[in-house]
Chain A
């Protein structure tokens, strides 16, 4: 039975809600407590959280390390940008619908190619395919703007089908205030959806595939089909994150499709702990703060990030959330008096 349980994540619905409710309240009131800049950073964090959550469905729950998630994030982002540049669309909801449609098609095609392989072969294939998209974005500059990218100005965009717009003085602060909540709602929906997925029979089947592919096949699980569906869901989460990210960033360039960003998504997930449900979210938020402040405070920011990763792998192999759980578990065990040898 333990094989089918996500490691360290055997929470009941009741207990999960009890944990999530105060966090949701906290996230809802934070913008009232901090300035626009911090709110903006947290919005970035939530968006990367959605992407990492999707990524972890493959890594943590299906046992497949994708090194090409920048592609799906980039697809969502570029779709919105193309809608601005070529169709003059100015509605966030339409960007999201368009982003999901395009990401779904491409992810399904890429996934079809990739899921026949596992381990390093899977990783290299996802990487190679994402590099194809990067080359298109980079080289077809008369379509994509090349390294100059495509601008997606929040000032020309509306939320909630035109109900909220951002023009006039102080518009940036108003945009951040509104966009944070917009992102938060979608983020919450994504978290609930992913929670349901990984705790459903489908999610359990994925974990079975992760733990023992041969045994899963003998149980009658269509391994390839399940992996493809997981791949698709995972890519869609990344695509949605990409679409949400564009107006916040104001611009999309080929950097976001390039492989280092795929690496950053892996970094976020490992940082938080890929063996837990909430790990990738925490990792994404922490990573975003970490990188921003490393860049702001030292010319050796790459070294700083590298050192963090090394320390992490050595000291906290289970990531931030995994490490905290271990500490909490040990503390609880000591409280029961059965911790001592």
Chain B
């Protein structure tokens, strides 16, 4: 499976190891511990369903980027969601009865059209669950609407801190699975400070909207705390979904920085790195990114330079944890590749894990109340829920309904096994999420401070003032 040139995605060795995984799962099931994790399980491991469940479909609405430059992130999200839905349906559906049905709509229609579409999905299509959403510009609009409509919502991205800091400060129906956004900039800052501790002159190129500002701010806060004397020498703010980065690249080059922090994503990053190559930008400065490996892995070509710090939105890359250290990931990658003939991204993991989180919560709620649990019961089980996902251990914090998992980042490297650059295994670092995010109930903006996020306030009070 590791060899892309090998047409059959499943080699004999992989097949044997998968059998090993299944057998392992079976053994664990016998001791009653394998009921909840992100992935299919043998029927014997399923908990007993209490009460009668009607076999009406469980309707899911999924808004994601189906077109445009952001499709590089939207498509893997859709595929991760569908794979999980197909697997759960193959087990008979949720609680063995309710098959998951999904209706999909295009996020690139714009925020206002997304709001209308969510209302249509709930009021007209009567969805049970709303999920998807990639852009940080859209979750703060859709979150409050989901609360108004009372529709259970699992965003798989759109991870701006703003959503639970300000837009929906006391969420009831809205949850989010992938890591919080401030972790992006901080993860890249830690990776960069470790790799290049003497890079003091920092330039920044960010998409000109809330995500770019968030990356810039949190990267600089954390980086300055770790690298004394670091300063910002240039900032470039191309509009989101730009195609021409030439003026921004020349601006960055003329500032002569040691290090560039880049928060461009999707098709924007691909266009940027290809144009930057022509100017030899990567030879003139070190480059740290937050989302270079955020889209479909094959979206980045072999022409991409090595030794670039490649972020995955502080979430997941399909080769990590690798080397069969985390069988849930190995078997997920294998099943995903078999289904879609490509490798998963962090959006695939997020959307996939979202449905398994839901499934776990529904099974737990059924165990407690019997029959089909209402949303209140499902929500009570989602709050504080932790499951093992392809990316590792994911935990939904009850205070803000936000998912947390340890973040990871690595350097780009070309290896013969893949048609695209991957993480150099020797360079990958995993960072405890506790170390890079504001703890539960940390004051939100407006509660005694006016920072842009709770995380920024936490960084300023605990990293900079108390440097140990």
Residues on A lying within 8 angstroms of B by beta carbon are 35-38, 40-41, 44, 138, 141, 146-149, 151, 153-155, 171-172, 249-251, 253, 255-256, 291-292, 295-296, 299-302
A147-B209 contact given A250-B115, A299-B67, CB 8 Å threshold: yes
B66 adjacent to chain A (CB < 8 Å) = yes
In the complex, which residue of chain B has the Cβ closest to the Cβ of A251?
Answer: B141
Contact A296–B105 (Cβ < 8 Å): yes
In the complex, which residue of chain A has the Cβ closest to the Cβ of B140?
Answer: A148
In whole angstroms, what is the CA distance A255 to B204 when docked?
25
Chain B interface size, as a band, is 20 to 34
In the complex, which residue of chain B has the Cβ closest to the Cβ of A295?
Answer: B109
Q: Give chain B interface residues in 93-141, CB to chain A under 8 Å.
A: 103, 105-106, 109-113, 115-117, 119-120, 123-124, 137, 140-141
B299 adjacent to chain A (CB < 8 Å) = no
Say which residue of A35, A172, A255, A299 sits within 8 Å of B112 (CB atoms).
A255
B149 adjacent to chain A (CB < 8 Å) = yes
Contact A301–B109 (Cβ < 8 Å): yes
Residues on B lying within 8 angstroms of A by beta carbon are 66-67, 103, 105-106, 109-113, 115-117, 119-120, 123-124, 137, 140-141, 144-145, 148-149, 160, 162, 167, 208-210, 213, 240
In whole angstroms, what is the CA distance A253 to B112 when docked?
8
Contact B66–A146 (Cβ < 8 Å): no
Contact A255–B209 (Cβ < 8 Å): no
In the complex, which residue of chain A has the Cβ closest to the Cβ of B71?
Answer: A299
In whole angstroms, what is the CA distance A276 to B216 when docked?
52
Contact A249–B115 (Cβ < 8 Å): yes
Contact A250–B148 (Cβ < 8 Å): yes
In whole angstroms, what is the CA distance A72 to B285 when docked?
46
A255-B111 contact given A149-B141, A153-B144, A172-B149, CB 8 Å threshold: yes
In the complex, which residue of chain B has the Cβ closest to the Cβ of A253?
Answer: B111
Contact A296–B66 (Cβ < 8 Å): no
Contact A149–B111 (Cβ < 8 Å): yes
Say which residue of B117, B145, B210 sits within 8 Å of A292 (CB atoms).
B117
Determine the chain A residues whose CB is within 8 A of the CB of B140 once the complex forms: 148-149, 151, 251
A148-B162 contact given A249-B112, A253-B137, CB 8 Å threshold: yes
A295-B144 contact given A255-B112, A302-B67, CB 8 Å threshold: no
User: Looking at chain B's contact residues, is the secondary structure mostly helix, strand, loop, or mixed?
Assistant: helix
Chain B nearest CB from A68 CB (Å) reads 19
A295-B117 contact given A35-B123, A147-B209, CB 8 Å threshold: yes
Chain B nearest CB from A131 CB (Å) reads 12
Contact B137–A148 (Cβ < 8 Å): yes
Determine the chain B residues whose CB is within 8 A of the CB of A253 once the complex forms: 111-112, 137, 141
Chain B nearest CB from A262 CB (Å) reads 14
5 A-B pairs besides A38-B124, A172-B149, A256-B112 with CB distance below 8 A are A37-B123, A40-B123, A147-B240, A148-B210, A295-B117
In the complex, which residue of chain A has the Cβ closest to the Cβ of B110?
Answer: A255
Contact B210–A171 (Cβ < 8 Å): no
In whole angstroms, what is the CA distance A147 to B240 when docked?
11
Closest A-B pairs by Cβ, 9 of them? A37-B123, A299-B66, A147-B209, A295-B109, A37-B124, A147-B137, A251-B141, A299-B106, A148-B140
In whole angstroms, what is the CA distance A281 to B57 when docked?
39
In the complex, which residue of chain B has the Cβ closest to the Cβ of A292?
Answer: B116
Determine the chain A residues whose CB is within 8 A of the CB of B116 once the complex forms: 41, 44, 292, 295
Chain A nearest CB from B164 CB (Å) reads 13
A295-B148 contact given A148-B140, A149-B141, A251-B141, CB 8 Å threshold: no
Determine the chain A residues whose CB is within 8 A of the CB of B123 once the complex forms: 35-37, 40
A250-B137 contact given A292-B113, A295-B106, CB 8 Å threshold: no
Determine the chain B residues whose CB is within 8 A of the CB of A38 once the complex forms: 124
Determine the chain B residues whose CB is within 8 A of the CB of A249 once the complex forms: 112, 115
Determine the chain B residues whose CB is within 8 A of the CB of A251 once the complex forms: 111-112, 115, 140-141, 144
Please indicate which of the listed interface residues A148, A149, A299 has the most CB atoms of chain B within 10 Å of its own CB: A148
Contact A148–B160 (Cβ < 8 Å): yes
In whole angstroms, what is the CA distance A295 to B67 when docked?
11
